[in-house]
Structure formats: C-alpha cells, structure tokens
Structure 1
Amino acid sequence: MATPALAQSKGGESRASAPEKFFKPGANILVKRNSGSAAPSMTVAANDAISSDTHQPHATLMAKYAIKFKNKKYRGEVCGTRVVQKTSGRGKTTLVMTVEKSVSAQVNAEFGFSAKGLSATVGFNTQKSYTVSNQTRYEVPKGKMGFVEAYPLYDMYEAQGYDMTEQYVGIAVALKPIGVCFNQWTQ
C-alpha cells in the first residue's frame, strides 16, 4: 500500500504529497511499540470493513471546511519503509540498537480537507511529529555479517469523508507513529 505523506498548506488544509510506502509486519520483523504505549482499544471485525465503494472524489473543488469525517476504523499496525536508523557488524558479536527519533504522522486522501476535522475524528493530531523509541539486541554468529534496520511503526486508521450535502467523497487514511519495526538478518 502506498500512502503519501502529509503536506501542509496555508489555512490548515491538507493534501497528500511525496509517497511513502508501508507494509504489514511479517514473521521476520520485530515490532516494538513505544514503552508505555498500549494497543488501541478498538478492534475491527472481519465483516466491519469499509465497503469497496466505487464512488470517485468530486471533480469540483470542495471547501476545506465542508468535509466531515465519519466511520473511523482501526486497520492495525503497519511499518514504514523509510529507514530511520541502521547498523551492521561482523560476528561473533551482539548488535545493540537504541532508537529515539521524531517521526511525522502520515495522511493520504484524494481530496482537500481540514486537518483539524480529520484529527478530531481519528483521535490524534495528524499534523504533529511523534517520538518513536525502543531498543533491540541481535546476536550475530561467528563468521557472519549481521544487519539491523529500524523503520517507524504506525497505527493505521481510515475515515470516510462526506461533503456538506452528505455525499461521499472518499477515504482518508491517517497513520500515527507508535513504535519501531526492526528488520534483523545475517549474511
């Protein structure tokens, strides 16, 4: 899934900008939420998914204050693909990486909207940067080269956008940085 980063224009209107890609963490990715960060209390049932509506965003310009967001859904955790820190070393050794970085929230929508409106709906400031922090230790066997890369971990939310006539205009995706994904391997 490709989700563009948040771009801020005058007046608090937001639009998507330079793309960043995301992936669902797999078995080989170590996922660590920030210490003291609990998983969201909301869950999504399998039959609770947003329908694959074929509506396209309005072709006309919409006033940024006219978009209302409804039907917030928590879509789980995703890892970003931009490396925030990395290390490597020849074994036998233990690679230790401590990450503490500021990472911007990410937003994607195909229509202009008020960042305040989306923030109020998803429950966090979509224009803010958040600190992600955690640590990993990786044992590298003798004679092997070990690598560790850190990526931001996000909670993903979706909300449906409606114009002032209550007509559906599309989905906005908001991602809140909440931890670190560590990719660790040897060669």
Structure 2
Amino acid sequence: MKVNMTSSMPGCVFEYCGKVPEAIYKPEVFRSPLEQAVYNNDLDTFKQLVREGHEVSVKLKIGQMSCIEFAAMRGLPGILSALLDDSINANTLKQYFSLADVVDRAYLISHNKAIFFDQEALAEANRYEAALYTAIEYNQPQCVEIMLQHLGNKELGKHNFYTKDTNREQLTAAELACIRGHSECYNLLVKRNELKPQ
C-alpha cells in the first residue's frame, strides 16, 4: 500500500519544486506555545512544555509549514530531534520506518488504523520525507542526518524540483543534493545508500 499525500501538503518544498516562499511560514498567530518555541528555537521551553503535557503532533505549524519542515529548513537540529522524539506517534513511526517491506508497512497500518488515521501518523510519516528534502534544499546537513536516522529503511521517492529557471525534473534526494552543490548532504545520502541492505 503506497499512500501519496504530497499533493495535499501546503507549505512543502514539493508544492513549490524548491524553496518555499517566505509568506508561507510567516505566523499570524501561534496556535500552541510549542509552535512559538519552535519558531524561536527555544529548546528548553519546548521541553518544559512537553513535560507539562503539551502534545507534539503533525498539526503543529509555523504559518502553513509543518514545524518538522520549518526546523529542517532553518537548521534547528535540537528542535527537529525533539519534534520527532516527543511526537505522540514516535514509537509507531519508528516501527513503521524500521520495516523494509512495503507489505509489512501496509500490515502495520491496517492493524493500527486509529493511530495512522485518527492520530495522523500517516500524515506525519509523509512529513518526514518532506523534511528530509527540505533540509537538502536549504543545505542543512545536521538535519539531513537526523531525518535519515528517523527514516530508517524507507525507500525514498523521487520528487519534482526546478533544476534551472523553468526546468523541472524528478530527482532522488542524492540527485537534488548533487545538483544544488550541497556536498555534505550528498555524502550523507550516498553513505546511507551504501549501508542499505541490497
């Protein structure tokens, strides 16, 4: 089962085939103090809010951009790790991404529908890949490394990106890093591919 949610991901690099317009991640209001902590790169406050019971989920946004992608774009590795590790779906997604076989992933989804659909774990899983590509587009190697660790065995898809003024191409994560000249990001992606079981 392959669910593609990239067409309904406002504020995402996939929507713009590259850099996200600044107006997309300009917050008019913060719907949660966690969002403000992310925006201000205030990890201590974020952690305190989590201890106080504030829920970390894919619904957290800066403007129209998910907080996960915002942290990846801005190069906020501490915040990014906290968003992933403290998510209400963290354990389920860790299990999901540890599975190399798409059938095993589909089985996991079918037996955990409440988590994947009601709790939006599937939407969050799609944001992981978007965050990886965001970190590559904005040349944030620390965030690329974090996303690769969390993406586990997931086979990364190809996505449309502008390669020249108006040319769009379907690119892998490594191809995007290479075209953009982001060598640290590229090396991390190549290393991951070399370590993956064939």
**Bin of the TM-score, shorter chain as denominator length:** under 0.3
More contact order relative to length (CA 8 Å, sep ≥ 6): 1
Q: Which has the larger radius of gyration?
A: 1
TM-score by length of 1: 0.26
Q: Which structure shows the higher helix fraction?
A: 2
Q: Which structure shows the higher strand fraction?
A: 1
